[in-house]
């Protein structure tokens, strides 16, 4: 899919740029990071706001309609015009791994069907940001993990991780798992606002975790997102993300085609 990954895609999707946002765990902030990156990319190219799309292959834990599913949050926080059902064709209410939530709902998920559900989105957009469910080794179907979907899509991965104590181990293990499967890793984003984050005032590790992850993995840490990010304003979310993260690696991972006026990344 992406020319930036070493993997060979065998997915029946149009060839294009893409980034798969995975994490060290559920609740680490993948949705807010995915929305934030989409908001940044779309703000950089306002004339081509349709160029960057978002896909959540399978979501679990909420019912569509009350604004709490990831697809609904992504639409609002990134300022998308798609219907949430277009962003995610598979929604299961049980707060469980997708494979288990689907089984409970009597649905037999296959990775081929999941990928096929994204064909309209991939035809509509030139660049896709894809948010996984939970961490990379979460069961997606009866046979495959989320990491198998990343491999099939052939996209580079971004790892979202907590900023506090414990994140070095979780992040290095996630990097090892993805590398062992041949996935190219574009970077790591640390998040100080993750649901189970410790207070950064009481946690001296937050000052050194990014450097440790870079030292032991060689993967760039783009920065640390602060807590309190807004999910209701794509413009504010984009501005605060630009201030917090070094987005040069994002731009390298997702080279944008020049706009009609000749403008490329600013």
User: Which residue lies nearer to ligand ATP by CB, 225 or 256?
Assistant: 225
Residue 56 known to be catalytic: yes
Where do the H-state alpha helices sit in the chain? 30-44, 70-78, 84-87, 98-104, 111-116, 119-124, 146-153, 167-180, 209-217, 234-244, 248-253
Does residue 95 interact with ligand DSD by CB under 6 A?
A: yes
Spot the catalytic one: 50, 56, 152, 243. Answer: 56
User: Which residue lies nearer to ligand ATP by CB, 54 or 256?
Assistant: 54
> Among residues 2, 31, 163, 241, which is the contact residue for ligand ATP, using CB under 6 A?
31
User: Which of helix, strand or coil describes residue 254?
Assistant: coil
Which partner in ligand DSD, ligand ATP, Mg ion, none is near 138 (CB below 5 to 8 A by kind)?
ligand DSD
The pair of structure tokens assigned to 164 is 């506090």
Residues 6+ apart with CB under 8 A from 106: none
- Cα separation values, 147 from 24, 39, 159, Å: 12, 25, 12
- Closest contact distance (angstroms) between CB of 194 and ligand ATP is 5
> Among residues 16, 31, 69, 163, which is the contact residue for Mg ion, using CB under 5 A?
31
Whether 107 and 92 have beta carbons less than 8 Å apart is answered as yes
User: Which residue lies nearer to ligand ATP by CB, 29 or 139?
Assistant: 29
The closest alpha carbon to 266, from 47, 87, 54, belongs to 47
> Among residues 13, 102, 130, 133, which is the contact residue for ligand DSD, using CB under 6 A?
133
Does residue 97 interact with ligand DSD by CB under 6 A?
A: yes
The pair of structure tokens assigned to 13 is 């999707």
- Binding site for ATP, by residue number, is 27-32, 70, 131-134, 191-192
**Sites of contact with ligand DSD (CB under 6 A):** 26, 59-61, 70, 95, 97, 133-135, 138
Question: Could you list the active site residues?
Answer: 56
**Sites of contact with Mg ion (CB under 5 A):** 30-31, 70
């Amino acid at each position: 899919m992406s020319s930036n990954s070493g993997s060979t895609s065998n997915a029946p999707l149009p060839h294009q740029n893409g980034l798969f946002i995975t994490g060290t765990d559920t609740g680490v902030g993948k949705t807010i990071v995915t929305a934030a990156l989409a908001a940044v990319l779309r703000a950089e190219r306002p004339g081509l706001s349709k160029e960057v799309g978002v896909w959540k292959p399978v979501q679990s834990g909420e019912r569509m309609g009350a604004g709490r599913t990831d697809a609904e949050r992504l639409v609002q926080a990134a300022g998308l015009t798609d219907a949430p059902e277009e962003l995610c064709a598979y929604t299961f209410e049980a707060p469980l791994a997708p494979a288990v939530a689907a089984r409970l709902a009597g649905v037999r998920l296959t990775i081929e069907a999941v990928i096929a559900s994204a064909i309209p989105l991939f035809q509509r957009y030139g660049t896709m940001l894809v948010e996984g469910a939970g961490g990379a080794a979460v069961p997606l179907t009866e046979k495959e993990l989320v990491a198998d979907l990343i491999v099939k899509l052939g996209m580079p991965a971004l790892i979202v991780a907590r900023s506090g104590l414990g994140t070095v181990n979780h992040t290095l293990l996630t990097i090892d798992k993805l590398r062992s499967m041949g996935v190219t890793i574009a970077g790591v984003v640390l998040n100080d606002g993750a649901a189970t984050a410790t207070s950064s005032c009481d946690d001296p590790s937050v000052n050194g975790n990014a450097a440790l992850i870079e030292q032991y993995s060689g993967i760039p840490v783009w920065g640390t997102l602060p807590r309190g990010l807004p999910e209701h304003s794509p413009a504010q979310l984009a501005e605060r993300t630009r201030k917090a993260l070094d987005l040069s690696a994002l731009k390298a991972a997702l080279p944008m085609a020049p706009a009609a006026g000749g403008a490329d990344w600013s």
